[in-house]
Each structure stands twice: as structure tokens, then as C-alpha cells.
Amino acid sequence: MRKRTIRSGLNLILAGIVSLILATFYHEHIARLFFLSPDSETIFIYLGFLSGGMFGCLGILTTVTGLVRSAGESKAVTLTYTLILLTAAFIIYFFLLYSSFTSPEPAKLRPGETITI
């Protein structure tokens, strides 16, 4: 087992999860921050899903490769912090997913309605 390879794979999986979180839940905020048009925001979402999938698949392949390879002589590498960050990313993703289902949809204005301030 090569811990450095496993850590690299877990970091890639973490990058994939962060990419999915940004593309799924924070695309509106990022679009406002970078002044993206609605078409550009859609492209950002697609690229977020694509990069999340690519990073995740590459991370799984790298992690499995690290598990299969023999240990050899390597420096002591800890996986604790990477596993904690990965677990936190999973928890944040599922918390955001749950809250998106349970939060009520804000009322939208119909055409012709005005806001009284």
C-alpha cells in the first residue's frame, strides 16, 4: 500500500466533491461574483459536473492503484487530515442536499407585479 498515492487519490476525490458542491449549490453566487450571463452560468454548471466526475473517477483509480501497489520504502505519510476533510466534504454535501429539499421556494413576482418599499 502506497500512502502517498492513496493521499493523492483522496485529494482528487475531495476536489471532485468541492467542484460538485460549487456547481450544484453556489452557481448563482459565483455567477454574480464574476458577472456571468445566464448562458455562461449554465456552462459553469456543466463544467462543474464534468470536472467533479473527472476528478472523482481519477481519484478512485489513483486510490485503488495505491492500495494495490506494494509498500516499498517511503516516508511516513498520514492520511488522517485528508480523511477528515473528505468526511467533512461528504457531510456538507449531504447537509446542503437535504436543506435544498426542505427549504421552501421563495415567492417569485408575476409579470406586472411591483414591489412596495
- pLDDT cut 70: percent of the chain above it: 99
pTM of the model: 0.84
pLDDT (0 to 100) of residue 10: 96
Would the pLDDT of 20 be above 90? Answer: yes
Average pLDDT of the chain is 90
As for how many domains the chain has, the answer is: 1
| Spatial distance between the Cα atoms of 8 and 78, rounded to a whole number of angstroms | 12
Within a domain: 86: yes
Within a domain: 92: yes
Mean pLDDT for 56-63 is 96
Within a domain: 75: yes
Within a domain: 109: no
Q: How far is CA 36 from the centre of its chain?
A: 20
| Spatial distance between the Cα atoms of 112 and 5, rounded to a whole number of angstroms | 59
pLDDT band for position 46 (50/70/90)? Answer: very high
Within a domain: 16: yes
> Could you tell me the three cell numbers for 106?
421563495
As a whole number of Å, the CA-based R_g of the chain is: 20
Within a domain: 54: yes
pLDDT (0 to 100) of residue 90: 95
Would the pLDDT of 66 be above 80? Answer: yes
- The range of the structural domain enclosing residue 30 comes to 3-102
- The length of the chain is 117
Mean pLDDT for 98-117 is 80
Within a domain: 107: no
